[in-house]
Structure formats: C-alpha cells, structure tokens
C-alpha cells in the first residue's frame, strides 16, 4: 500500500513538473528558463529535477517527448475509430486543433520552438519533432490515397496535400500565439478555423460530395460539421 501511494505521488510530481517545464520552455525558451523557476512553478525541490532528469537539458527533452505523446493520443484515437478515409483526413486535422485548444503549452513547444543558441538541446528536440511530423504526414497521405481510390477525394498528390493541410491548420492556430495585427483569439479563432476546414474540404472533395451548385452537398456539410466539432 505504501509503495503504491509513493508511486502515485511520484507520478503526480513528474506530471506537474513536466507541465510547468513545458509551459515555461514554450514561453521563455531553454536558455532563459532556470531549474529554480521550474521547481518553484511545480512546487518541487530543485533536486527532484536533477534526480529524475539529470538537469535542465534532460527535462527539456522529456517535456518535448511528453508533448509528442499527448499529440499522438489525439491522432491515434482518430486512426482507431474506423472512419472512412476522407473523414479520417478531416478528423485528424480536427484532432490537431483540439490538441491546441486543450494543451496550448505543449502545442506551442512543438509548433513554435523559440530560437536558441547552439548549446541548447534544440537540434535534438527538432529531430524528434521532425520524425513524428514525417510519420504523421505519411499516415495522412495514405488516408488521402485511399480516399482518392474510393472516389471521395479528387486525385491530388497525396503527400503534398497532407503537408498543405497540416501547414494551413498550424498557421491558422498560430495566429492565436503571436502578437501582431493578424492575432485572433476566442470566437474569432473558431470562425477562422471553421473557414479553413470548409475551404480545404471543398478543395479536396470529389464530385460525389458536391451539390448542384458544386459546393459541398448537405450530407457532406453535416459530416464535416460533426468531424470538426468532434461529434462524428
């Protein structure tokens, strides 16, 4: 009983520590974030960081790994749902946006890492992120190829289409992360994301999913709405 309680406490401390580290690294970068600040935010002893992660570098890489794992859970749920391939493509994009909404710190750590000096572990983290991105693009390209084969998506270069879809969604969400005249948030961001999904869907949809006016058919509109909101 005592051992189980201790394990739960350690797991909780690790989770809280990685949450704090991910948030601070995303906001301040590696060099400007100190282990003392992270420990204070997480309410743990500084020694916990060195004991569990070997120092700031190990904690940074662990925070990136955890962000990648969280993102993968959102995507894996879509691929395990047995959706038709065209709907799978939209649902993966929607899952990516939900990952941002529910874990903005982890999203920013992966999507917008701050520039760092050469001694920072940015290259190692970037390589881990790039491997996951490449895997994600390959899986989405396969979904697009299956959708093209069944006639629900018009013929397009699958990998290029996958990259465009994720780049468009990433750029749209990033409008909420940077200061400047293009920044949007709240309901306005929801509207922009909705327009992005509709524009992409209308561009990819084959004749099967188009109505008399060549726009999306009512059935396609309903399916798109359910997928984007997570109700499909």
- Sequential DSSP letters for 187-228: HHHHHHHHHHHHHHHHHHB-GGGB-TTSSB-HHHHHHHHHHH
pLDDT, tens digit (0-9, with 9 covering 90-100), for 131-171: 888 999 999 999 999 999 999 999 999 999 999 988 888 88
d(CA 115, CA 113): 7
Residue-range domains of the chain with CATH: 67-229 (1.10.357.10)
Q: pTM (2 decimals)?
A: 0.82
- Sequential DSSP letters for 25-54: HHHH-STT--HHHHHHHHT--HHHHHHHHS
Residue 182, pLDDT above cutoff 70: no
Q: Residue 12, exposed/middle/buried by CB under 10 A (0-12, 13-18, 19+)?
A: exposed
pLDDT, tens digit (0-9, with 9 covering 90-100), for 34-83: 999 999 999 988 998 998 899 998 999 999 999 999 999 999 999 999 99
Partners of 153 in beta bridges: 205
């Amino acid at each position: 009983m005592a051992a189980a309680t201790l394990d739960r406490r350690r797991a909780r401390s690790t989770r809280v520590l990685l949450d704090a580290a991910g948030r601070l690294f995303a906001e301040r970068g590696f060099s400007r974030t100190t282990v003392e600040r992270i420990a204070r935010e997480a309410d743990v002893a500084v020694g916990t960081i060195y004991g569990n992660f070997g120092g700031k570098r190990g904690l940074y890489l662990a925070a990136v790994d955890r962000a990648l794992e969280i993102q993968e859970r959102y995507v894996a749920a879509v691929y395990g749902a047995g959706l038709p391939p065209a709907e799978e493509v939209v649902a993966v994009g929607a899952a990516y946006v939900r990952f941002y909404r529910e874990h903005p710190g982890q999203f920013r750590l992966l999507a917008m890492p701050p520039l760092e000096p050469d001694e920072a572990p940015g290259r190692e983290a970037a390589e881990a992120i790039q491997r996951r991105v490449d895997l994600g693009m390959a899986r989405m390209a396969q979904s697009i190829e299956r959708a093209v084969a069944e006639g629900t998506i018009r013929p397009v270069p699958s990998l290029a289409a996958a990259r465009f879809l994720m780049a468009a969604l990433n750029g749209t969400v990033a409008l909420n992360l940077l200061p400047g005249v293009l920044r949007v948030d709240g309901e306005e961001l929801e509207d922009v994301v909705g327009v992005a999904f509709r524009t992409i869907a209308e561009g990819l949809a084959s004749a099967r999913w188009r109505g008399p006016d060549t726009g999306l058919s009512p059935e396609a509109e309903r399916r798109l709405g359910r997928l984007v909101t997570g109700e499909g």
